[in-house]
Structure 1
Amino acid sequence: MPQIIPIKDLKDTAKVSEMCHKSSDPIFVTKNGYGDMVLMSMEAFEEMHHREQLYRELEISENDIRGGKTRSAREALSDVRENYGL
């Protein structure tokens, strides 16, 4: 479940850091009752970033398949063997 804290709680940096590292979910910071910032640990951010990169690559691949930009495995392996002298 996402955590929501008021901006004044950022004064206790050790506590906020601990909260970030205890959960992979982001912490939403409010200011005057409205959303202002989102905090997360570096590990959670990197994991999210890698996942987004994977989804982007999958989307590109799916678009290539839909667009007919494919070839047989035999063709591809033949090119690899030729290019690398295998």
Structure 2
Amino acid sequence: MTNFDAKPLPKTAVPAGITDPVESARAELKAALAAIEVKGNFPRRIEKASARAAVKARRFADDNPVGAIAAAVALAAVVGSAVWVIARALSR
């Protein structure tokens, strides 16, 4: 019995039911290489994380505009202070 509503397996999973040892080894190697690629691809991971953060920030700004403005001002103050401290340390 097949379930057509089921999600396809992720590329890092080994399908069940493989009886041939050669096919099983190939499937395990393919899944291991895919897992290494997913974990090691830092630019893609950073891009996905920044996209998630942008969505959260937009949702926060839509739900709480005053809080978003306060957060933006606080972030600007922190960054400005850090730049000032670094510039002052370098000028001495």
TM-score (norm 1): 0.39
Higher helix share: 2
Q: Which has the higher contact order (CA 8 A, sep 6+)?
A: 1
Higher strand share: 1
Larger-Rg structure: 2
